[in-house]
Chain A
Amino acid sequence: MKIKKLLLTAFTLFFSFSLYAANTIKIGASMPLTGMFAVPGSKHLEGYKMCVDMINQNGGWLGKKVVLLGIDNRSDTETAISQYERFINVDKVDLVFGTFSSKLTFPTSTILAKYNYTLPIPSGGALRIYRRGFKNLFYFQSNPAEYYGKQLLGVVQDRASAEDQPKTVALVHADDFFANSIANGLLGNKVKLPGSGKLVEDMAPGYIAQAGMKLVYHEQWPEEGFSDWLTLANSIKNSGAEMVIGMMASPEEAVQLTRALKTVRHNPKHLMLTQGTQSEFLEGLGDATEGIMIYSAWHEKAPFNGTLAGKRMNNSDFVAKYKAMNGKLPDEDVAITFALCQGIDQAVNATRSVDNDRIMAWLHTRSSRNPVKTILGDYYWDATGLPINKQALIVQWQGRELKFIYPTNEFQASPIVSPKPAW
């Protein structure tokens, strides 16, 4: 009798689970929730969760509940690879969302291409990711990292007065896949594929040379475990650079570099960073943020229109919703993944399917007249998966707020603080 009951219970549980599984659509996302990318990785997952929750509040996809499997890859490449393989082979996910950083995206994109899964990428701007002939990639930010230099220097050339134009520049960056890619563009290096050495693009003469500036200091710091920021800042100070460009994938490094530059009292005309839009940056530096320019994918005032679950979800709606939920402004890292999720939501609803081939085909056929519409703006991609006509934004800390300052043809830009006030 007992055995009968046990079998019946087991069967009921199995049947209920199968029914539940059949009534859900599963998405896998391997995210760096601990380790060096913990801060942006956690915020990326927050954006995914917020979006998926809103989809479910509106009835899910195709009448099914959407389940997000977001797990921690410890910022580790091997773990991220095995987690995506597990998502596909064990969890049998329908779709995947991309991870954070070029470092993690490069290897995981190979795996996902092999399994023919659509890979929407939130953060993975290195050109090398997109030049391997994969058809499953869709990048949800702006131009690739190697091209960042154009805007990093362009904002100063176009918006700073003649006397604030820097003649010398110091370039410091993490020895990281993403930061090295930006440096390649600024320095005019040849971009090659790791392993094969195949030339991806020759960036010569480089944006610094094109801008007529002189590179007086160039240095890297190790990807992990670096703590001697004051010595680095002192070397930058000794170079006398009028403009400092700091490139990193982790906001923690942006705080440390800036604090060190302030401590040694190096006062460049302009300080430009690739991280630092996060609330943690403001918290760590306070008024010392004044005048610092940051490369960004998003701004709270951007008048971008989007949809989610068939309803309006403009950038202003997103900001209002996030503020109502959390009592504070969202960070760029939350907005990016929310936008990515909006894009996939539109693809699923348009194709009435979670079939990866159909979703890829639909995304590939987006155009300027019929783009994916998100809180980061409109998206349509070239054959490699890079967005077309998508400029990144340059923002500047002014009075403890992030103001949009460049490019001026996107939407209303604020006046620029130039030169950066002395510490």
Chain B
Amino acid sequence: MEILQVIILGLCLGFVYALMVSGLTLIFGVMRIVNLAHPILIISGAFVSYWLFILFGLDPILSVPAAALTVALLGVLLYKLIFEKNAAQQTYSEMTVLLTFGTAMVIDGLLAFLFHNTQRTASPAYATDAIFIGDIFIPLAQLYSGMVSLGIIVVLALFLKYSEFGIAIRATSQNRTSAELVGVNVKFVCLISFAIGCALAGSAGSLVSFVFSFFPSRHWEWIAILMSLVVLGGMGSLTGAVIGALVLSVVSSLVGAFYSPAWSTMVFFLALFLILIIRPRGLFGIRTD
């Protein structure tokens, strides 16, 4: 029974991780931007929901669209200011590591200046509630955030698969030059994809605001974890990122429960090392050589 409980907890957390990482993998897939600023964008979204909750009592789940829109607009601004003009550079992908790292530091500093490095947690009534079914409990905060994450991911997947613009995004992701040749406006696709990736970060931030405590510099802790999820799933693969998030989250919970919590975080880093050694393109990544 205990193992079932641990798996449920791991899955609930896994869906939140999946949403956190989906924007990151989308942005990499389409634009080859290794977006180290993604976690601080998640924190930005968390701040939007937190303040809407504190000032107007708006439930963080209901403020997902507001957080998504705010961070998407921030993303458009960042893209126009930083990434667009460098897209033609040969070392663009490598450059983005430094550019996004610097961006993360600047946003971190701005948020700390505006809101201080004080920890925040939105506390809707269900944040510490749970459904009990016999000996098993399902925490409502994790359940709701997991369900919303799943919903957003499904909508994203359907959008990418069936909409015309989604097909353009996938085409750009698979082969930028060919997409251009068949008439895809690659520049516009990149801009919108970056905005969508940022909107996903904002949405994840909304859910994070009541699942975890957060403060501006918390994002440094998440970079490595999110990177390990992307690498495990395969850089640029949405399916891979979701499966990577679920698998690692469950394994991490199992390690925490049956071995020691001291080693549970290690699971993410161990996975990162192993996948880079054994299968560098990740579980669902496409071979590029």
Contacts and interface: CB of A to CB of B under 8 A. Distances in A.
Interface of A: 33-36, 38-39, 41-42, 74, 175, 219-222, 224-228, 230-232, 234-235, 238, 251-252, 255-256, 259, 262-265, 280, 283-286, 288, 423
Q: Is the interface of A mostly helix, strand, loop or mixed?
A: helix
A357 to B, nearest CB: 36
A34 B256 contact: no
Chain B contact patch, size range: 35 or more
B51 interface: no
B123 interface: yes
Contacts of B253: 228, 231
Interface of B: 2, 5-6, 9-10, 13, 108, 112, 116-121, 123, 127-130, 132, 137, 139, 141-142, 212-213, 215-217, 220-222, 224-225, 252-253, 256-257, 260-266, 268
The 8 closest A-B pairs by CB, nearest first: A34-B217, A38-B117, A284-B121, A221-B261, A262-B128, A252-B119, A252-B213, A225-B265
B129 A263 contact: yes
Contacts of A221: 261-262, 264
Contacts of B212: 227, 256
Contacts of B10: 228, 231
A259 B210 CA distance: 11
30 contacts: A34-B112, A34-B216, A35-B220, A38-B117, A38-B216, A39-B117, A39-B118, A219-B261, A224-B265, A225-B221, A225-B224, A225-B268, A226-B261, A227-B212, A228-B13, A228-B253, A228-B256, A228-B261, A231-B261, A251-B119, A256-B212, A263-B129, A263-B139, A264-B137, A265-B130, A283-B120, A283-B123, A284-B120, A286-B123, A423-B128
B9 A231 contact: yes
A33 B117 contact: yes
Given A262-B128, A288-B128, A42 B265 contact: no
A284 B213 contact: yes
Contacts of B116: 42
A228 B118 contact: no
A177 to B, nearest CB: 15
Nearest to A46: B116
Contacts of A284: 119-121, 123, 213
Contacts of B139: 230, 263-264
B128 A42 contact: no
Contact of B128 (A33, A220, A238, A259): A259
B127 to A, nearest CB: 7
A221 B268 CA distance: 15
Nearest to B221: A225
Contacts of B142: 230
Interface-central residue, A224, A228, A238, A285, by most chain B CB under 10 Å: A228
Contacts of A220: 260-262
A234 B117 contact: no
A55 B143 CA distance: 53
B215 A263 contact: no
B251 to A, nearest CB: 11
A234 B119 contact: no
Contact of B118 (A42, A222, A264): A42
Contacts of A228: 9-10, 13, 252-253, 256, 261, 264
A259 B6 CA distance: 17
A235 B121 contact: no
